[in-house]
């Protein structure tokens, strides 16, 4: 959570900072601010609410004369201290010489605050972050980098920070990381710092990802990266393949809608290069040590939110194709239950951002207990990718909407490929069967497109349901996680209460809720549990519930029972979860936008949850 930017160079600094913050706004949007060093004079402008309000304030304040070179900015997701202008970053020391923008949590801030107050420092905010500029002030003896290093030595917790100062012999930004990500963008006569790559894309694609414990001293013509011992790290810049256009809305009303419509392309990119000419799967080179995977006796998958739902589908895929037992864990629970990690076990962390604190902590726990780590991740170079033995990138491209869409369907695709690769390695399926599955996967992008072509029909369906206040989502088997994902999409962007249940569970409680005010979305593709699910449809109907069915093309029976039926293409049961996700995403999107909700930035949420 929270987005950080820093710029040093010849451009008009406030413009670059505001542009970067807008591109990072998905990380947090309670309040925001910038600190600019204008010819040695600091200027700070902060605002509650969205970046647009900050931009307006900057316009009115006109903080620079165009010759200014250095500044930092922050968009906040509040943890310590309510969202207010006072609590907005950047924060300053008593003398107004040191400014810090921070993403993370300083866990021992109360202790440090009391210590610093005892030394005479005056605090202005309720935040944990404010201890940092005061610590830097107390350690400063002419060398900003050294003062930051000494300040951080006192700190317990996680942080990505950028620091600027009016002191010293020229403008520079000191950036440091322990946990939340920071990436340095390398330009020509200018350099950048940001929490995430999209902020850098209009300016440069040459980047260095800071690693934990590292600090970067950034001037307009140099970037020095040092480790926690102060030793110089000579790391060449990496080139990012994402383009600036990939992080734009391109005419869509919201990023979420654009990202839903990108799914045929995204799934194609997940498959690209991973299918051989003879329709077999060729993931082995990415798995680094395929023999370990061939020999695993047990597999654990962890994730949070939408990524957890992908894990739950993955269990079905891997168990049914590769016949390895799979255990799923909510990553936030995994680490606190002293999990048993058997020898020869594999842990898969699923995370779009590669930054989710709980998922990273679960992966670390498994690593310490001896598991081989594989991550399924979208963001290249992210923390999850770096701490894994092997990475399967989903190649979905930047996902900006807070509600995860293309990240999810590409995770499902990657899991399907992984299950097939495991089946090949372990010899659990004949080659012709693997080839049949691979051919099915090749068809998925076109099948998704067929569903997207009915976008308007779903918009109309959504219009009829935008005023309801509770929804149930029911499904069985491999589609049960999709019911939970559909409910999550609806609740997070429209603020309508929605629950996903295993359809078989309905009679054990949720059925009591059903009446004529309760729409029930039932996923009922024609698979082995179709008849059972139809039984649930009957049970809802006889209690006057409203049934919206997602069914297989050509299924006339269900359309006679359900109030509304949306058809998905006839596909293999293992492909259905990908296809049935699409109408649920669109349904949630249209309901939320009709209700006037801020679809891309739902209240209280942030795209990357980098704190526990
Ligand atoms: C879902 O729409 C949310 N964005 C959220 O549940 C998300 O999937 C979760 O926070 C995990 O994020 P990650 O995939 O980046 O780890």
CA distance 595 to 591: 6
Q: Do 304 and 359 touch, CB atoms closer than 8 A?
A: yes
Contacts of 78 (CB under 8 A, 6+ apart): 28, 30, 31, 87
Residue 252: per-residue pLDDT: 93
Ligand 1 nearest atom to the CA of residue 303, by list position: 16
Nearest CA to ligand 1 atom 5: 305
Residue 404 CA to ligand 1 center (angstroms) comes to 6
Residue 28: is its pLDDT beyond 90? no
| Range with lowest mean pLDDT among 266-270, 340-344, 477-481 | 340-344
**Alpha carbon distances (Å) from 396 to 406, 407, 414:** 6, 6, 11
CA distance 47 to 394: 36
Q: Report the pocket of ligand 1 as residue ranges, CB < 6 Å.
A: 304-307, 351-353, 356, 359, 402-404, 492, 608-609
- Residue 207 φ/ψ, nearest 5 degrees: -135, 160
Residue 350 CA to ligand 1 center (angstroms) comes to 10
Residue 354: is its pLDDT beyond 60? yes
Q: Do 186 and 204 touch, CB atoms closer than 8 A?
A: yes
Q: Do 37 and 165 touch, CB atoms closer than 8 A?
A: yes
Q: What is the pLDDT of residues 167-197, one digit of tens each?
A: 987 899 999 999 888 999 999 999 999 999 9
Pocket test for ligand 1, best of 309, 356, 358 (most atoms within 8 A of CB): 356
Closest CA to 104 of 612, 605, 611, 607: 611
What SS3 class is residue 552? strand
Residue 543 CA to ligand 1 center (angstroms) comes to 35
Residue 65: per-residue pLDDT: 57
Residue 606: per-residue pLDDT: 83
In the chain, what are the helix, strand and coil shares in percent, each to the nearest 5? 40, 25, 35
CA distance 271 to 378: 14
Question: Exposure pattern of 173-201 as b/e (b: 16+ CB <10 Å)?
Answer: bbbbbbbbbbbbbbbeebbbbbbbbbbbb
**Cis before 195 (ω within 30):** no
Residue 301: per-residue pLDDT: 98
Ligand 1 nearest atom to the CA of residue 407, by list position: 14
CA 133-209-7 angle, to 5 degrees, is: 50
The band of 64, judged by pLDDT with boundaries at 50, 70 and 90, is low
Q: What percent of the chain has pLDDT above 70?
A: 99
Which tokens hold the place of 396? 């979905």
What strands lie across the sheet with 372-377, from one edge to the other?
A: 326-330, 298-303, 345-351, 372-377, 390-393
The band of 63, judged by pLDDT with boundaries at 50, 70 and 90, is low
Q: Do 272 and 395 touch, CB atoms closer than 8 A?
A: yes
Predicted TM-score of the model (pTM): 0.86
CA 331-337-338 angle, to 5 degrees, is: 110
**Alpha carbon distances (Å) from 412 to 215, 241, 594:** 37, 23, 29
Catalytically active residues are 2, 607
Nearest CA to ligand 1 atom 8: 306
- Residue 575 φ/ψ, nearest 5 degrees: -90, -25
Residue 40: per-residue pLDDT: 81
Q: What percent of the chain has pLDDT above 90?
A: 79
CA distance 206 to 112: 37
**Alpha carbon distances (Å) from 1 to 76, 216, 388, 402:** 7, 21, 22, 11
DSSP tag of 236: P
Which tokens hold the place of 224? 């020095």
Residue 395 CA to ligand 1 center (angstroms) comes to 16
DSSP characters over 347-365? EEEEESSS--HHHHHHHHH
Q: What is the pLDDT of residues 603-612, one digit of tens each?
A: 988 888 887 7
Residue 501: per-residue pLDDT: 97
Q: What is the pLDDT of residues 65-121, one digit of tens each?
A: 555 579 999 998 888 888 889 999 999 999 999 999 999 889 899 999 999 999 999
CA distance 402 to 161: 23
CA distance 405 to 27: 16
Nearest CA to ligand 1 atom 9: 305
Which tokens hold the place of 379? 């963001």
Q: How many CA atoms lie within 13 A of 101 on its CB side?
A: 37
Which tokens hold the place of 107? 């866990």
Nearest CA to ligand 1 atom 6: 305
Residue 276 CA to ligand 1 center (angstroms) comes to 31
Can you name the residues that pair with 502 across neighbouring β-strands? 475
Pocket test for ligand 1, best of 310, 358, 401, 404 (most atoms within 8 A of CB): 404
Q: Do 387 and 355 touch, CB atoms closer than 8 A?
A: no
Angle between helices 576-594 and 406-426 (to 10 degrees): 170
Residue 67: per-residue pLDDT: 57
Radius of gyration of the chain (CA): 25
DSSP tag of 503: G
Residue 459: is its pLDDT beyond 70? yes
Angle between helices 144-153 and 131-139 (to 10 degrees): 120
Give the pairing of strands 232-233 and 223-226. Answer: antiparallel
> End-to-end CA distance of the chain, in Å?
11
């Amino acid at each position: 959570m929270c987005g950080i930017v820093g710029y040093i160079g010849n451009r008009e600094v406030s413009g670059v900072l505001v542009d970067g913050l807008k591109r990072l706004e998905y990380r947090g949007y309670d309040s925001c601010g910038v600190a600019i060093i204008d010819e040695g004079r600091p200027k700070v402008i902060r605002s509650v609410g969205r970046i647009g309000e900050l931009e307006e304030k900057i316009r009115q304040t006109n903080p620079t004369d165009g010759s200014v070179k250095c500044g930092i900015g922050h968009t906040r997701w509040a943890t310590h201290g309510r969202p207010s202008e006072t609590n907005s970053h950047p924060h300053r020391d008593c003398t107004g010489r040191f400014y810090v923008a921070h993403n993370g949590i300083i866990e021992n801030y109360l202790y440090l605050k009391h210590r610093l107050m005892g030394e005479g420092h005056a605090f202005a905010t309720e935040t944990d972050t404010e201890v940092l500029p005061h610590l830097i002030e107390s350690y400063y003896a002419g060398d900003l980098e050294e003062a930051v290093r000494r300040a951080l030595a006192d700190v317990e917790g996680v942080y990505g920070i950028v620091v600027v100062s009016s002191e010293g012999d020229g403008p520079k930004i000191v950036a440091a990381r322990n946990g939340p990500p920071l990436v340095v963008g390398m330009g020509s006569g200018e350099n950048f710092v940001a929490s995430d790559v999209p902020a850098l894309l209009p300016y440069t694609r040459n980047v260095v990802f800071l690693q934990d414990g590292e600090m970067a001293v950034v001037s307009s013509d140099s970037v020095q990266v040092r480790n926690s011992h102060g030793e110089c790290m000579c790391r060449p810049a990496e080139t990012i393949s994402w383009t600036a256009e990939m992080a734009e809305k391109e005419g869509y009303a919201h990023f979420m809608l654009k990202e839903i419509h990108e799914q045929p392309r995204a799934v194609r990119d997940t498959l690209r290069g991973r299918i051989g000419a003879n329709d077999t799967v060729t993931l082995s080179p990415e798995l680094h040590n395929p023999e370990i995977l061939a020999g695993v006796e047990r597999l654990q998958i962890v994730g949070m939110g939408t990524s957890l739902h992908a894990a739950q589908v993955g269990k079905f895929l891997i168990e049914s194709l590769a016949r390895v037992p799979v255990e799923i864990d909510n990553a936030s629970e995994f680490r606190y239950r002293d999990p048993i990690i058997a020898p020869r076990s594999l842990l898969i962390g699923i995370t779009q951002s590669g930054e989710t604190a709980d998922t990273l902590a679960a992966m670390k726990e498994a690593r310490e207990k001896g598991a081989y780590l594989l991550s399924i991740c979208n963001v290249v170079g992210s923390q999850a990718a770096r701490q894994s033995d092997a990475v399967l990138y989903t190649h979905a491209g930047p996902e900006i909407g807070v509600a995860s869409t293309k990240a999810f369907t590409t995770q499902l695709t990657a899991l399907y490929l992984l299950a097939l690769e495991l089946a090949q390695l372990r010899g659990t399926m004949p080659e012709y069967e693997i080839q049949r599955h691979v051919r099915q996967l090749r068809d998925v992008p076109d099948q998704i497109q067929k569903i997207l072509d009915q976008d308007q029909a779903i918009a109309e369906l959504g219009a009829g349901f935008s005023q309801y206040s509770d929804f149930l989502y029911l499904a069985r088997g491999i589609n049960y996680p999709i019911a939970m994902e559909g409910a999550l999409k609806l609740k997070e962007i429209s603020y309508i209460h929605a629950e996903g249940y295993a359809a078989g569970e309905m009679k054990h409680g949720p059925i009591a809720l059903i009446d004529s005010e309760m729409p029930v979305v039932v996923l009922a593709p024609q698979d082995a549990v179709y008849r059972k699910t139809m039984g649930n449809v009957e049970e809802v109907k006889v209690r006057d519930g409203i049934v919206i069915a997602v069914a297989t093309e050509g299924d006339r029976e269900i359309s006679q029972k359900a109030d509304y039926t949306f058809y998905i293409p006839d596909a293999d049961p293992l492909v259905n979860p990908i296809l049935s996700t699409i109408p649920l995403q669109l349904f949630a999107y249209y309901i939320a936008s009709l209700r006037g909700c801020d679809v891309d930035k739902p209240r209280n949420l942030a795209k990357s949850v980098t704190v526990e």
